[in-house]
Structures are given as structure tokens and as C-alpha cells.
Chain A
Amino acid sequence: MKDPVKEWLPQRVTQMGVLACGLRRPNGKLHSQCADASCPPAAMDNLLRQLDGSRTLFSGETPAPKWVTFTYEHGQIRFVTRPDGWYFAVVVRPETEAAAELDSLSVEFLSLQLGK
């Protein structure tokens, strides 16, 4: 089984337009990778925690969202949750390759074989 932290996550952050990305394991452990000084790993960790807290916004939604995207003037934050407790978050610049491929990236994350 792939270790997503060692294999999948580092590949994601190299894509043109990605500022940072991170994973949250079901046990709460965070793994962040950054490609731009404007969003360092500590900020990404913080963002993952905040995203975790933001889930209450969608707790009443039936069915639960597959993913949500907060779009800002200078970037987008995509947050994808899996039923097994893994979360993925990525921050991208708008109108970049990474922004255009957010949906396919999210689908890829949802289909990954992941452990605990």
C-alpha cells in the first residue's frame, strides 16, 4: 500500500500553481508540503486544523459534500474529505494548471488506497 505522505503528497506540490497542500490522517496527524513562502508548512497545518473545524458548516448537508472550494481574489482552497477520515487540502493560485485540475486531483485523492 502506498504511503500517501511519502509518495502522493510531494508530487502534488510540484504542480505549477500549487502554493501548498496537506493531508490529515484519520488519527489527526498532519502532513504539509509547501511550494511558496506565502503559505509555509506551519500555515498549512493551521489551515488543516481550521478546515477540520469548518466541517460543522457542512454537517447538516445531506448528502455530504464531496469537496468544497473557497475562492479568493488571489487563490483557491480546495478541501476534500473521505469517509475513512482522511482529509486533503490544497491551496492554488487562480488560473493556473493546478487550479484547472482541482477536480481531477480531488477525484484522485478520493480513489487512493490509504491506510490508517
Chain B
Amino acid sequence: MKETQHNVLFVDDDREFLEALSDMFNALSGGAWKIQTAGSPDAAAEILKAGEIKLMVVDVNMPVLDGIQFTGMMRKRYPALKVALLTSDVSDEKRSAALEAGAELFIEKTHSPEGMKAVFTMLGELLNWAPQDGFQGMLHSVSLQDVIQMECVGYNSSVIEICNEHVLGRIYIEDGQIIHAAGGELMGERALQKLLSLPGGSFELVPFEAPQQRTMNAPWELLIAETTRKVELGMPRMDGPEVDAATMAPVTEAAQNITETLVCTGTGAPLYDAGCAEAQSRMHWLMAVAQQAAIFNQTCSLGHFDRLDIQYPEGRAVAQAREDRLVYVRMMPAKKGSAV
């Protein structure tokens, strides 16, 4: 009985290289690999739609959409797909970007027969690697907010332990509701805000244990939206040394009146809406902002888009359009003497 074939897709704009690679790997695998090739990410995306590809090997340097960007996109769409990136530029920067995009392997591109055999061996190892008993997985580029949302949507009970070099914190989720948070000297919503504003660190999901007190009762969607809003408003970033609770001035003390707030998921489902007269059109506008930002980035490569700030004659607005979240906040200066 013939062993199951591995479906492998090679993506490279260099047709000659693709042909050479395909011929050699066909021979080396003895027919165990069913090799398909694509000269562009576009063509590769079409092939991937069939859902048969187990391993995709992508050239980093391609016009229009490079291999790292393409990997990032496909990784989200096909989580089980294994990806290796080939490149002539094996700098640490490229390697980090490749692994961050979700590639399992980052391999130097070679044209020599010996080099190609080495690449074949590495790819073979990757194809044959299988998880141990039980589930084992990796979430790529997952944010703390994503994990909280997953736990809440699933009505789970758990504790998320967060730490970075300055802060140790915990968020308690019981039956899908955020019931308590503690971070540094803060507790409740302010601790949640502090933890969600951390620019980096690590977190771990551990079994639920009841906190000593319950400090939050609002629905989790509202808590997340409100916390996101405050973080977007530029509350102090808590990436420095531990701060005293007194420095965490509540947003109501800022000399701004929030006139409009909209928080949506990346697909446009509203999470929080306050004062937004036309949420649907605002959501479409946020998506248009993201597209425009991507167009600019093709001209001047400046990395990931973070936000758009709009300064009006009076007041300002901040728009953030990420894959997982759309946020818009409009602020007006507080009138002198008014309660903010």
C-alpha cells in the first residue's frame, strides 16, 4: 500500500528556481511529496483554498506582497498549515519577522545540490513532526485581550497571570465574567486597565481559584470596551517602574469631553457604542482608514499601522483599525468651569 503523499506548495516568483526545486525534491522524496508550485502569493492563495496543502514553502522576497506578509495572512486563515520561509537575507530582523508571522522554519535560500538536500531534510522533519498525545498548540500574535475574550465567550472560569519586568498581575474570570483584577497596587477596573495597557510581557492561563474579593460586576464586554477606550485615550502607559495608585488619574479628570466612542471587533461587530450616531458608517470609515494606512505603507515602509490621530480646530479624534479591533474616540475640550 502506498504511503500517504504529503502535499507541499512552493511559492516563489523565480520560475527557474521553482522548477529546479520541484524536480529535485520530487526525486529526493521518491514521490512521497506531491509538489505544487505558485509564482505569486495570489496563485498560492488559490491553491490553498482546496485545503490539501500540508506544508507551504515561501520565498521572502517577492514583489507586491512579500513572503512574510503572505505567511501572516495565510497563517490566520489556515492554522494547521506548516510554513517555511526561504530567503537570501538571513538577518536576525528578517528571522524575527518570519517567526512572528507564524513560520515554523526560516531557511537560507540555496542553489547548490548539497544545500538543497539540507533544505529537503529540514522540510521533511517539519512535515513528519506531530504533536504528542493530547492537544498542543501555539497561538501566534495573540493579545491578552484576545485571551480574555476567548475565556469570556466560552463561559470559562480561569485566572490569567500576567507579568513583565515591572508588574505582576492577575485577572479573574468566573463563568465568563471578569470578576476581579489586581496589578501592582491597583485593583478592579484600574488594575484591568493597567494590565491591558502593558506594551509587552507574558501571560499564562491557570485554573480558577476564587479571589479574596470581587471588584467588578459589569458585563465583560462593557469592561473591555471601557478599558480599551481609556487606554486609547492615552492614559499613562504602565511600562515603567511601578507607579503609585495616585498617578492613575481616572479619565474623568482629563480635560476632555468624550463625545463619541465606538469599539468593534475586527469584523465590524459592535462591542461598545456611546454617542455614535451612525455606527455602521463609522465602522466602514475605520476600515477605509486601515486601507489608506496600508497604501501609505507600501510607499514608505514604516511597519505595522498603529493609529490615526485627527486634530480639529477644537478637539481631536483617535482611530485605531487593527485586524482584531476597530476603535474610534472623539474628544472635545472641556468647557471652562464645567464638570467633566
Contact = CB atoms under 8 A, between A and B. Distances in A.
Interface stretch (B135-143, B176-184, B189-197, B307-315): B307-315
Interface in B292-318: 292-293, 295-297, 299-314
A72 B293 CA distance: 9
Contacts of A20: 300
B288 interface: yes
Contact of A70 (B293, B301, B313): B293
B285 interface: yes
B48 interface: no
Contacts of B292: 50, 54, 57, 70
A3 interface: no
Contacts of B300: 19-20, 38-39, 43, 47, 75, 77, 91
Contacts of B296: 47, 50-51, 54, 70, 77
Given A47-B296, A57-B285, A57-B289, A68 B308 contact: yes
A51 B304 CA distance: 18
Nearest to B289: A57
A64 B314 CA distance: 10
Q: Is the interface of B mostly helix, strand, loop or mixed?
A: mixed
B302 A73 contact: yes
Contact of B303 (A51, A63, A73): A73
Majority secondary structure, A binding face: mixed
Contacts of B314: 63
A71 interface: yes
Given A43-B299, A75-B300, A67 B311 contact: yes
A47 B191 CA distance: 41
Contacts of B289: 57
A67 to B, nearest CB: 5
A51 B34 CA distance: 47
Interface string B275-301: 000000000010011001101110111
Nearest to B320: A71
Contacts of A72: 293, 297, 302-306
Contacts of A38: 300-301
A63 B293 contact: no
A26 interface: no
A65 interface: yes
Interface of B: 285, 288-289, 292-293, 295-297, 299-314
17 contacts: A19-B300, A39-B300, A47-B299, A57-B285, A57-B292, A63-B314, A68-B308, A68-B310, A70-B305, A71-B308, A72-B297, A74-B301, A75-B302, A76-B302, A77-B300, A91-B300, A103-B311
